[in-house]
Amino acid sequence: MSSPKFDSYDWENDPNWKEFTGTSTSINKLKEEYFKKNIDPNYKSSSSSSSSNSNSTTTQRPSSPRTSTSTSSTARPKPTFKRFLYGAWVIAQISVIFFTLLYFISGNPYFFYKALIGATIAYSIPIFNTFEGRTPDRALANQLVQNENAQFVFYCMIFYFLGSASLVYLLPNFIYSFFHVLKLLIPYTARVPFIKNLLEKINSYNTKAIDFAISIEINIILIAFFSIFSSFSNILLVFIYFRYIKLRYQFSQKIKSKVNEYSQMADQLSTHPSCPSFIRNTIPKIKMILSR
CA angle 123, 156, 174 (to 5 degrees): 70
Do residues 187 and 200 touch, judged by C-beta distance below 8 A? no
- Rounded CA separation 166/233 (Å): 10
Question: pLDDT tens for residues 92-105?
Answer: 999 999 999 999 99
- What letter represents residue 37's amino acid? K
pLDDT (mean) for 153-180: 96
For residue 277, pLDDT beyond 80? yes
User: Confidence band (pLDDT; 50, 70, 90) for 35?
Assistant: confident
User: Confidence band (pLDDT; 50, 70, 90) for 172?
Assistant: very high
- Rounded CA separation 62/26 (Å): 16
User: Quick check: pTM over 0.75?
Assistant: no
Name the residue with higher pLDDT: 17 or 246. Answer: 246
Query: What integer pLDDT is reported at residue 70 of this predicted model?
Result: 41
pLDDT (mean) for 168-195: 96
Question: pLDDT tens for residues 58-76?
Answer: 333 333 334 434 434 445 5
pLDDT (mean) for 260-268: 88
Do residues 264 and 221 touch, judged by C-beta distance below 8 A? no
Do residues 93 and 181 touch, judged by C-beta distance below 8 A? yes
Angle between helices 138-146 and 109-131 (to 10 degrees): 130
Q: Can you list the positions of beta strands (E) in 112-158?
A: none
- Rounded CA separation 12/254 (Å): 53
User: Confidence band (pLDDT; 50, 70, 90) for 269?
Assistant: confident
Do residues 234 and 261 touch, judged by C-beta distance below 8 A? no
For residue 79, pLDDT beyond 90? no
DSSP 133: T
